[in-house]
Amino acid sequence: MTIDFTDTADLVAPQLLGCLVTHNGVTVRLTEVEAYLGKDDPAAHTYKGPTARNAAMFGPPGRFYVYFSYGIHHNGNIVCAPEGTGQGCLLRGGEVVAGEDLARQRRQRPERALIPHENLARGPGNLGQALGLQLSDNGTPVQLTAREAEPEWVRGTRIGITKNADAPLRFWVPGDRTVSTPRGRR
Query: What pLDDT was estimated at residue 186?
Result: 46
Asked if 175 contacts 34 with a C-beta cutoff of 8 angstroms, the reply is: no
- The pLDDT value given to residue 1: 65
**Domain-by-domain residue ranges, the chain?**
9-172
Tell me the CATH architecture of domain 9-172.
Roll (3.10)
Other beta carbons within 10 angstroms of residue 34's beta carbon come to 27
Give the C-alpha separation, 177 to 91, whole Å.
Answer: 16
* Average pLDDT per 10 consecutive residues for the chain, totaling 186 residues: 90 97 97 93 84 90 89 89 95 96 87 86 94 94 92 89 84 94 55
Per-residue pLDDT, 158: 84
User: Ramachandran region of residue 26, left (φ > 0), alpha (ψ -120 to 50) or beta?
Assistant: beta
Instruction: Give me the helices (H) in 33-75, please.
Output: none
What is the pTM assigned to this prediction? 0.92
